[in-house]
Amino acid sequence: MTTGKVTLLSAGPGDLDLLTIKAAKALAAADIVLLDDLVNPGIVSLAPRARVIRVGKRGGCKSTPQAFIQRLMQRYAGKGLHVVRVKGGDALLFGRAGEEITALRHAQIPVEIINGISSGFAAAASLGISLTHREHCQGVTFVTAHKQDHGEPNWAALAATGTTLAIYMGMTRIESLCQALLSALPASTPAAVVQWAATASERRWLGTLDRLAIDPVKEGLESPAVILVGNAVGEAVDWVTHHETRACAGDAHAAFNTWQDVTGTVQHAA
Amino acid sequence: MTTGKVTLLSAGPGDLDLLTIKAAKALAAADIVLLDDLVNPGIVSLAPRARVIRVGKRGGCKSTPQAFIQRLMQRYAGKGLHVVRVKGGDALLFGRAGEEITALRHAQIPVEIINGISSGFAAAASLGISLTHREHCQGVTFVTAHKQDHGEPNWAALAATGTTLAIYMGMTRIESLCQALLSALPASTPAAVVQWAATASERRWLGTLDRLAIDPVKEGLESPAVILVGNAVGEAVDWVTHHETRACAGDAHAAFNTWQDVTGTVQHAA
């Protein structure tokens, strides 16, 4: 019946230059753009034809209910429009894409997924480390500290894998997760926090697991941030200075500035 | 002394449209391009100024030694040139970027890292699943079956995390890894194999853990492939047909065709 469709588009960590070419093409063709609030608002400049609707929903904050977002997507796609649902990072890593795909599938609306750069990768690039340095580990685990039932992940089991841990949404429960990890890993295990990775507001902390619940908090690092734990992180130590702010270069400057202006309020709301 | 630099550039899974805008810009400015052999060779069209050197090294195959690649990077960067080292997927996930960064740092050569789409994400996009569907898991673990000491990862510990497993370089040891996973996970655990994700040669298998060592092999699926195991993978089952070959669309067609021609030999050598 309908010729409409929904594209679940991954906006990456913030720098518009980290969008894929495929994402830029989809935005250029979009009729409707639904924008999450962790996404660089400068992205709308890439969607000149589109009507833009902000549908941010941060954990614990006043936000657009998921059911309403689903209805919006279905309504506009049902009218034959190309709806681009923009999510931060990679849409397939933490972000309820699973539920959105299921709902759209049931409504028989075609869904296209466009991958992007998740902030854990951007954090590693900023630190100048491989997430899976083969002298240290054989993999990396991306895990959210924010479980659906509000319980904690099994940190002992995660630590036992020997993989680098990339912990998302962990800043609000950093004490309890550190306590759990310290039962399973040496206090000297390298650790890092990267807030707003790959944006002009990026801040980094580098240290060891025994200081992870203390120093980054003292230095004011907060959400959105990725916490990295594991020996591979130790490769970063002589590479960056503590809480150094990364300089931004090149043509993404204007977009960054726009973003900083707008995200002032987002940060305040967080 | 030198004004040269090295960019470690992530080429993503193959579709040139999955390059980031930042990667395309770096290629346009490159003097020297060092190309891995799992990278879509069509990428050189984006680096018109560059001298292209192929430095493929597949596990177990005749290949360019790592030390030689390091020397090439240092030699050209030392001459003040912009060297772009192109790696498949994301350079920071399996691919010895860690060693290359360390060597370049010791040689005091500036290194820039540009992230990309790893094939595990492209595989999930192709299957239409979230890697971390919150009804099923709280994370995803990317792990290589190919350890430095040629031993096996601790599959029991990995299974105990309850995360989705995205296993790279696993096809040549699929029997032993399945056996190990079956000791820890139900035989009915959803599993998938995606070969050449996000390319014209893409092939998929969907099933359960008890068939994972048998059916994909029977159907001829082989490296390079990502193996996905976990309940989140079950969301894909009514979404794609078994060993369906994905249709390619749009302007990446020409690049795909070039790639298929060239990779005929690569696949044979694998």
Residue A252 lies in a domain: no
CB atoms within 10 A of CB B62: 8
What pLDDT sits at residue A82? 97
SS3 string, chain B, reads CCCCEEEEEECECCCHHHCEHHHHHHHHCCCEEEECCCCCHHHHHHCCCCEEEECCCCCCCCCCCHHHHHHHHHHHHHCCCEEEEEECECCCCCCCHHHHHHHHHHCCCCEEEECCCCHHHHHHHHHCCCCCCCCCCCEEEEEECCCCCCCCCCHHHHHHCCCEEEEECCHHHHHHHHHHHHCCCCCCCEEEEEECCCCCCCEEEEEEHHHCCCHHHHCCCCCCEEEEECHHHHHHCCCCCCCCECCCCHHHHHHHHHHHHHHHHHHHHC
Min Cα distance A121 → chain B (Å) is 7
My answer on whether B100 and B166 are in the same domain is no
A97 CB near a chain B CB, below 8 Å? yes
pLDDT tens digits for A157-193?
999 999 999 999 999 999 999 999 999 999 999 999 9
Stretch B16-43: mean pLDDT: 95
My answer on whether A113 and A179 are in the same domain is no
Residue A262: is its pLDDT beyond 90? no
My answer on whether A26 and A111 are in the same domain is yes
pLDDT tens digits for A40-69?
999 999 999 999 999 876 544 556 688 889
At A128, is the pLDDT very low, low, confident or very high (cuts 50, 70, 90)? very high
What pLDDT sits at residue B95? 82
* Cα–Cα nearest to B76, from B85, B65, B67: B85
Interchain CB distance below 8 Å, B157 and A154: no
Residue B237: is its pLDDT beyond 90? no
Q: Which range, of A6-20, A70-84, B16-30, B229-243, averages the lowest pLDDT?
A: B229-243
At A237, is the pLDDT very low, low, confident or very high (cuts 50, 70, 90)? low
What pLDDT sits at residue A63? 60
What pLDDT sits at residue B206? 96
Interchain CB distance below 8 Å, A130 and B92: yes
Residue A113: is its pLDDT beyond 50? yes
Interchain CB distance below 8 Å, B143 and A134: no
My answer on whether A99 and A196 are in the same domain is no
B28 CB near a chain A CB, below 8 Å? no
My answer on whether B124 and B228 are in the same domain is yes
* Cα–Cα nearest to A11, from A56, A49, A51: A56
pLDDT tens digits for A202-216?
999 999 999 999 999
Scan residues 156-195 of B and list those with Cβ closer than 8 Å to A.
157-158, 160-163
Nearest to A102 among B12, B115, B235 (CB): B235
At B2, is the pLDDT very low, low, confident or very high (cuts 50, 70, 90)? low
On the question of a cis peptide bond just before residue A224, with omega within 30 degrees of 0, the verdict is: yes
What pLDDT sits at residue A65? 82
Residue A255: is its pLDDT beyond 50? no
Residue B264: is its pLDDT beyond 90? no
Higher-confidence position of B147 and B258 = B147
In contact, B191 and B233? CB cutoff 8 Å: yes
My answer on whether A55 and A110 are in the same domain is yes
Residue A181 lies in a domain: yes
What pLDDT sits at residue B151? 72
My answer on whether A102 and A141 are in the same domain is no
My answer on whether A78 and A36 are in the same domain is yes
Phi, psi for B165 (deg, rounded to 5): -100, 125
Size of interface A-B (CB pairs under 8 A): 209
Residue B261: is its pLDDT beyond 90? no
Nearest to B17 among A25, A141, A162 (CB): A25
Q: Could you give the angle at which helices A66-78 and A97-106 cross, rounded to 10 degrees?
A: 40
- Report how many domains make up chain B: 2
Min Cα distance A83 → chain B (Å) is 17
Interchain CB distance below 8 Å, B160 and A163: no
Residue A270 lies in a domain: no
CATH of residue A184's domain is: 3.30.950.10
Nearest to B18 among A15, A92, A115 (CB): A115
Structure token pair of residue B126? 């192709």
Kindly calculate the radius of gyration of chain B based on its CA atoms and give it in whole angstroms.
19
Cα–Cα distance, B68 to B246 (Å, whole number): 37
Residue B241 lies in a domain: no
In a mutagenesis test of the A interface, which of B113, B138, B158, B168 is the best target, namely the one with the most A β-carbons within 10 Å? B138
Percent with pLDDT over 70 in chain A: 82
Residue B263 lies in a domain: no
Domain boundary among A85, A117, A149: A117
Domain boundary among B84, B117, B150: B117
Residue A264: is its pLDDT beyond 90? no
Percent with pLDDT over 70 in chain B: 82
Average pLDDT, chain B: 85
Higher-confidence position of B260 and A230 = A230
Residues of B in contact with A122 (CB under 8 A): 115
Residue A255 lies in a domain: no
CATH of residue B113's domain is: 3.40.1010.10
B72: Cα within 13 Å, side-chain hemisphere: 19
Enumerate the active-site residues of A: 36, 57, 169
Interchain CB distance below 8 Å, B161 and A154: yes
Domain boundary among A117, A146, A161: A117
At which residue do the structure tokens 């395309």 appear? B24
Phi, psi for A214 (deg, rounded to 5): -110, -60
A70 CB near a chain B CB, below 8 Å? no
pLDDT tens digits for B177-231?
999 999 999 999 999 999 999 999 999 999 999 999 999 999 999 999 999 999 9
Scan residues 115-154 of A and list those with Cβ closer than 8 Å to B.
115-118, 121-122, 124-125, 128-136, 138-144, 147-148, 153-154
Residue of B nearest to A250 (CA): B22
My answer on whether B148 and B111 are in the same domain is no
* Cα–Cα nearest to A116, from A6, A245, A7, A5: A7
What pLDDT sits at residue B150? 58
Nearest to A162 among B25, B144, B154 (CB): B154
Average pLDDT, chain A: 85
Interface predicted TM-score (ipTM) over 0.90: no
What pLDDT sits at residue A209? 98
Interchain CB distance below 8 Å, A135 and B98: yes
Q: Residue A146 belongs to what domain range?
A: 119-236
Chain centroid, CA A110 distance in Å? 25
Residue of A nearest to B145 (CA): A138
Stretch B56-68: mean pLDDT: 67
Residue A249: is its pLDDT beyond 70? no
pLDDT tens digits for B121-180?
999 999 999 999 989 999 999 999 976 655 789 999 999 999 999 999 999 999 999 999
My answer on whether B134 and B55 are in the same domain is no
Q: How far is CA B108 from CA B6, B67, B130, B179, in A?
A: 11, 17, 41, 46
Structure token pair of residue B185? 């996970």
Residue A242 lies in a domain: no
In a mutagenesis test of the B interface, which of A10, A19, A112, A117 is the best target, namely the one with the most B β-carbons within 10 Å? A117
Stretch A124-145: mean pLDDT: 95
What pLDDT sits at residue B242? 37
Percent with pLDDT over 90 in chain A: 74
My answer on whether B106 and B126 are in the same domain is no
My answer on whether A94 and A132 are in the same domain is no
What pLDDT sits at residue A247? 34
What pLDDT sits at residue B96? 86
Interchain CB distance below 8 Å, B147 and A162: no
Residue B268 lies in a domain: no
